């Protein structure tokens, strides 16, 4: 009972979030009438083998035909049964196999009131997205309480800012400049909401901006002297804009999360050391700061490395399956990810001393 009294406001707020979350999930399971697109639910499927096709690099794969019976869930034809034909390869790299219970968007050709043909446009995925969002929100708030809730707010604000950046770039404003301004806004919003308005947050914000600036400067210097030598842009070949600006923007924003993490970790650690020992010297703080930085540096670099590399795993799986050599893959497809990871690692490394000295400067009046 005493625990309930102490956490009464939080329990009430959490209960409201749970009710809203459950209501949102129930709504997305029954929101068919809100869609203009036609939605069907698969009732049954029948399959037959058609042939074995020879794909790229001589790889062979079986081709199947699905005959799908589905019930229309919305619109004027709601309740009617339609038959849909769907071809798919066994590997499902470029096409899709569907199962009983799947909900799909379809387009139809009608003659009068009769549906002559239906074509699958894709999955109806909103309910799965809502379940993930609700689960994420409830877990974050349960663990982090108010800070968890503010973290979610910061993510929402950052998504809005990111969309604004993209919209401004479409109007012709330089993407690297927008990305750098966005990095500053991301740092200020995220750190201020989560850590509050205090000297610790100020030190972390300044350190993050300085770290991103140094990373951007190093990247521009290297790019200037190497002229992108060894960096292959085949992965960006579908883009209609210059690769270089987009690549530089990826470097700026890609390492921002790790740089902010380093900055707030260093600022918080030094702040705690000063609070625990008011007589601690600058020399001791520097030594402790570097020791802490070395411990978290390796972990953060590995996080950044795996974050970038995991994005090419699907392609690597297909390429290895088709017998392409590792050396060719590294040269043609992985050079971009490695460049981003290495540049981000440099940013993490230089942020450690930057964070230490900026934190010491911000805390100097408290250090005897």
* Amino acid 28: pLDDT: 92
Would you give the DSSP letter of residue 60?
Answer: E
The CA dihedral of 219, 156, 149, 256, to the nearest 10 degrees, is 0
Q: Does residue 225 sit in the same domain as residue 276?
A: yes
Q: Does residue 292 sit in the same domain as residue 257?
A: yes
Q: Which residues contact 309 (CB under 8 A, 6 or more apart)?
A: 334, 337, 341
* Amino acid 20: pLDDT: 92
* Amino acid 231: pLDDT: 56
Residue 142 lies in a domain: no
Q: Which domain holds residue 110?
A: 35-124
**Is the distance from CB of 29 to CB of 22 less than 8 angstroms?**
no
Going residue by residue through the chain (368 aa), what tens digit of pLDDT does each one get? 554 555 777 888 888 889 999 999 999 998 888 888 889 999 998 888 888 876 655 567 788 888 889 898 988 888 888 888 888 887 776 788 898 988 999 888 877 767 778 888 888 888 999 999 999 999 988 888 888 888 888 888 888 888 888 888 888 788 888 888 888 888 888 888 877 788 888 888 888 888 888 888 877 777 666 666 555 555 555 555 566 677 777 778 877 878 888 888 888 888 888 888 777 788 888 888 888 888 888 788 887 777 777 766 766 776 666 666 666 666 666 566 677 777 778 888 888 888 888 888 887 766 65
Angle at 27 between CA 24 and CA 30, to 5 degrees: 155
Residue 135 lies in a domain: no
Instruction: Report the C-alpha gap between 50 and 14 in whole angstroms.
Output: 54
Instruction: Report the C-alpha gap between 110 and 90 in whole angstroms.
Output: 31
Instruction: Report the C-alpha gap between 341 and 350 in whole angstroms.
Output: 14
Strand partners, 69: 44, 83
Q: Which residues contact 30 (CB under 8 A, 6 or more apart)?
A: none
Q: Does residue 110 sit in the same domain as residue 230?
A: no
Instruction: Report the C-alpha gap between 88 and 83 in whole angstroms.
Output: 16
Residue 179 lies in a domain: yes
* Amino acid 3: pLDDT: 47
Residue 141 lies in a domain: no
Residue 130 lies in a domain: no
SS3 content of the chain, % helix, strand, coil (to 5): 65, 15, 20
This model's pTM is above 0.85: no
Residue 300 lies in a domain: yes
Class of residue 138 by CB neighbours under 10 A (exposed 0-12, middle 13-18, buried 19+): middle
Residue 221, CA atoms < 13 Å, CB-side half-sphere: 7
**Is the distance from CB of 229 to CB of 244 less than 8 angstroms?**
no
Q: How many domains does the chain divide into? A: 3
**Is the distance from CB of 331 to CB of 228 less than 8 angstroms?**
no
């Amino acid at each position: 009972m005493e625990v309930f009294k102490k956490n009464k406001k939080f329990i009430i707020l959490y209960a409201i979030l749970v009710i809203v979350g459950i209501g949102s999930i129930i709504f997305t399971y029954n929101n068919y009438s809100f869609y203009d697109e036609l939605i069907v639910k698969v009732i049954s499927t029948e399959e037959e083998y058609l042939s074995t096709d020879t794909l790229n690099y001589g790889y062979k794969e079986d081709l199947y035909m699905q005959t799908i019976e589905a019930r229309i869930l919305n619109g004027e034809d709601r309740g009617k049964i339609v038959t849909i034909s769907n071809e798919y390869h066994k590997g499902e790299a470029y096409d899709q196999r569907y199962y009983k219970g799947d909900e799909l968007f379809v387009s139809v050709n009608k003659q009068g009131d009769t549906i002559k043909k239906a074509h699958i446009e894709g999955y109806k995925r909103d309910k799965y997205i809502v379940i993930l969002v609700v689960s994420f929100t409830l877990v974050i708030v349960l663990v982090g309480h108010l800070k968890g809730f503010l973290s979610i707010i910061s993510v929402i604000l950052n998504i809005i800012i990111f969309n604004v950046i993209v919209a401004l770039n479409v109007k012709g404003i330089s993407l690297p400049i927008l990305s750098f301004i966005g990095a500053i806004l991301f740092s200020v919003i995220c750190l201020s909401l989560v850590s509050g308005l205090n000297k610790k947050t100020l030190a972390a914000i300044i350190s993050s901006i300085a770290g991103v600036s140094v990373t951007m400067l190093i990247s521009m210097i290297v790019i200037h002297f190497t002229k992108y030598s060894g960096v292959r842009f085949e992965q960006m070949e579908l883009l209609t804009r210059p690769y270089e600006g987009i690549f530089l923007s990826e470097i700026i924003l890609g390492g921002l999360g790790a740089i902010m993490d380093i900055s707030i970790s260093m600022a918080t650690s030094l702040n705690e050391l000063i609070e625990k020992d008011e007589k601690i010297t600058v020399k001791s703080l520097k030594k402790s700061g570097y020791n802490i930085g070395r411990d978290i540096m390796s972990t953060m670099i590995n996080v950044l490395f795996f974050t970038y590399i995991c994005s090419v795993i699907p392609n690597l799986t297909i390429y290895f399956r088709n017998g392409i050599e590792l050396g060719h893959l590294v040269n043609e497809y992985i050079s971009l990810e490695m460049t981003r990871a290495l540049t981000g690692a440099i940013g993490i490394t230089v942020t450690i001393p930057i964070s230490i000295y900026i934190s010491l400067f911000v805390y100097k009046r408290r250090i005897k």
